[in-house]
Amino acid sequence: MVKIKEGYVMNAREKMEFDRVNALPRKKDGRVDYYYKPQTKYPPRIYVYMHAEIWCDRNRRPMGLFHAIPFLTRPMNREEIEYHHFDIRLCYHQYEDWNKLIYAEEQEADELDKENPGSGAIFLDKLKSFRERCPIGKGVTYIPAVREEVPESEERVYMRELISNGQQYTVGQIGELLKQEQQGEKRPNILILLRELYKNKATGKTERLAITAEQIERKAFISQERTRRNTVRRVYKKNPLFALEEIRTKYPDYSEGMLPCDLMTGKIKVKKTKCKPVLDLRRCQLKKLTHKLLAGNLNARDYQNTCCRIVMLQNAHNLRLPIPLTVTLNRETLVYAFNWRTRETVVKSFVELANTQGMTHEELGRRYKDILSSNYSY
């Protein structure tokens, strides 16, 4: 069961949400994944992801584990499934000490043994076997990895030469290079760079082209991804059953897991319907009474009065009845009837005017006529 602090009293909204989630069926199973994060500028640590089957790669990006593979997995026990049933966010634990990790996992292993005898002990032995391969805690020395310098490719060298000397070429020379590349190797990076140079020279710009090799490669990568994605969608729309085989004729390394990602479309932003703001007196009062009712903390008498007032206001609004306002001045009582669409602010300003000292029905009547004849009142 979910742990609730001793003595904590849930309010009405929390209790309602708790009952709603508690009524939902529990998951039948779940998976726990263990990831090792070597030391960078932070100490090495082990991440334990609960319900790892619902974690996407992008969810692990903030921890630097987007491309990581778990070194150990295990099924969740029933107590864990029950506890994490009430999670509203993805849950994970991180450890920087093996002793704390083993202490926590020993308790989970005991629960696994109760459900499936021997499974918890086997898992615990596997976990302890990674203690030397995944060092965490004090005494771990950080040895920075030495990256081997990879010599630049011929294409990269050619790109740098074009970026540095491309401004000296004429439009004709760049066009000739572009034609040769299109008829020859058709390298996307070179084609994009030559097009940028051609556009820069053809438009008469004298300043040097401000672009780097990394930006060109990024553009080429996005272009290739877009082309592949459009091809996949076109083929799948035409022939869903044999789409994968047809796609592999053009992209031999295309895998089945890439198909859903390429077919996935971005979220379509739903256009909000425009609606006029609620300004008339009755609907404003109904809105306030509804908030008061939903907030709770009303005794039986206040609850009854609020409900009765809501019914009266709603019936009057449905029948489009005028808004009566009784004013007594100098022992003389008159009823001023306002149109049912009259703004709340207008009625309140009239009441405020009626409550001013020395006010008479003659002055109030003139203001009443102005309100009725004004379009702003509605």
End-to-end CA distance of the chain: 56
Q: Is pLDDT at 193 greater than 70 in this prediction? A: yes
Residue 84: both structure tokens together: 């994490």
Residue 370's domain comprises 324-378
Choice among 40-44, 61-65, 177-181, 201-205 with the minimum mean pLDDT: 201-205
pLDDT at 324 over 80: yes
Q: Do residues 257 and 222 both lie within one domain?
A: yes
Q: Are residues 67 and 113 in the same domain?
A: yes
Kindly state the average pLDDT of the residues 308-313.
93
Mark 212-241 as b/e (b = at least 16 C-beta within 10 Å).
ebeebbebbeeeeeeebeebbeebbeeeee
Which residues does 173 contact at the CB level (< 8 Å), separation at least 6?
A: none
pLDDT band (50, 70, 90) for residue 267: confident
CA distance 23 to 15: 12
Stretch among 77-91, 195-209, 230-244, 276-290 having the lowest mean pLDDT: 195-209
196 in the same domain as 120? no
In a domain, 117, yes or no: yes
Residue 219 included in any domain: yes
Shared domain for 79 and 28, answered yes or no, is yes
The count of structural domains within the chain is 4
Largest Cα–Cα distance of the chain, in whole Å? 102
332 and 293 in a common domain: no
The answer to whether residues 49 and 84 belong to one domain is: yes
Report pLDDT for 2.
Answer: 54
**Does residue 167 sit in the same domain as residue 246?**
yes
- Give the mean pLDDT of 312-341: 91
Asked whether residue 30 is domain-assigned, the answer is yes
Please tell me whether residues 22 and 41 are part of one structural domain: yes
Does residue 150 register a pLDDT over 70? no
**No. of helices (H) and no. of strands (E), the chain:** 14, 6
Q: Are residues 211 and 124 in the same domain?
A: no
105: pLDDT strictly greater than 80: yes
Cα separation of 236 and 244, whole Å? 8
Query: For residue 95, what pLDDT is reported?
Result: 93
Residue 271 lies in a domain: no
Same domain membership, residue 17 and residue 122: yes
Render pLDDT for 26-53 as a digit per residue (tens, 0 to 9): 888 889 999 999 888 888 999 999 998 8
Q: What angle do CA 327, 332, 334 make, to 5 degrees?
A: 40
